[in-house]
Amino acid sequence: MGDTQPQTAAGKVLLHFTMSLDGFVAGPDHEMDWMAGAAFRPNLIEEYARTTGAVLGGRDGWDAYPDPGGIYGGAWSGPVFVLTHHPEDAHPAEGVTFLNCDPAEAVRIALAAAGGKNLEVFSASIGRQLLELGLVDEIDLHIAPVLLGDGIRLYDNPGGKPIRLSRLGEADPKSTVNVRFSPATPAG
């Protein structure tokens, strides 16, 4: 505060998920056990723990995992916000603020609390609303080598219009990503 250096600029609003190859960020009941065995690049946790200033989640996810200590395996701590119409019956936890407002207002509050670092949105349904509002800066996905077939989708929007994206870090922002897999354990 009172600092005029560039790092006082607002952080980014980031949708950051591990996703199954077929587009799910959680199982039907918010299960995350399907991630077991997936290999991530070295230093990934340290990298995101360093750049994350605040987290915004949804009520369903909070009810499934009501412990902010598990974020980035405990490597990160900071302000966590949970958007819910019923804060009164949510399981409370230290450092967690329950917000009953519209998603745009929740982003303003959480981004201010992030202190110039990024706001990570951990809810696909909030993410969808923010995408439609034009409030998402980046979608950052780790695609895991597994097909789930059912669950919480990254972007669930029947009747909506497609959202065009630009690839970051590539010469051509419209470039497709070619990925090839073989089934590891054929059913039998």
Q: How many beta carbons lie within 10 A of that of residue 144, not counting itself?
A: 19
Q: What is the dihedral of CA 91, 117, 72, 136, to 10 degrees?
A: 80
Among residues 111, 119, 131, 152, the one that binds a copy of itself under rule CB under 8 A: 131
Nearest to 163 by CA among 30, 36, 15, 45: 15
Q: Which of 39, 42, 88, 94 binds a copy of itself (CB under 8 A)?
A: 39
State the Cα–Cα distance between residues 32 and 92, nearest whole angstrom.
22
- Could you say whether residue 13 binds a copy of itself (CB under 8 A)? no
Q: Which of 1, 7, 41, 89 binds a copy of itself (CB under 8 A)?
A: 41
Q: Is 116 in the site for a copy of itself (CB under 8 A)?
A: no
* 184 near a copy of itself, judged by CB under 8 A: yes
The residue (of 96 and 106) whose beta carbon lies closer to a copy of itself is 106
Stretch that binds a copy of itself, among 34-42, 68-76, 83-91, 94-102 (CB under 8 A): 34-42
> Considering only residues 46, 102, 105, 156, which one is a binding residue for a copy of itself as defined by CB under 8 A?
156
Structure tokens at 175: 């470039």
Closest approach, Cβ 36 to a copy of itself, in A, equals 10
Is 104 near a copy of itself (CB under 8 A)?
no
3-state secondary structure of 83: strand
134, 143 contact by CB (below 8 A): no
139 near a copy of itself (CB under 8 A):
yes
What single-letter amino acid sits at 23? Answer: G
Q: What is residue 76's three-state secondary structure?
A: coil
Helices 124-133, 103-113: inter-axial angle, 10-degree rounding: 100
In the bound state with a copy of itself, the residue whose beta carbon lies nearer, of 60 and 132, is 132
Site residues for a copy of itself per CB under 8 A: 18, 20-24, 28, 34, 37-41, 128, 131-150, 153-169, 172-188
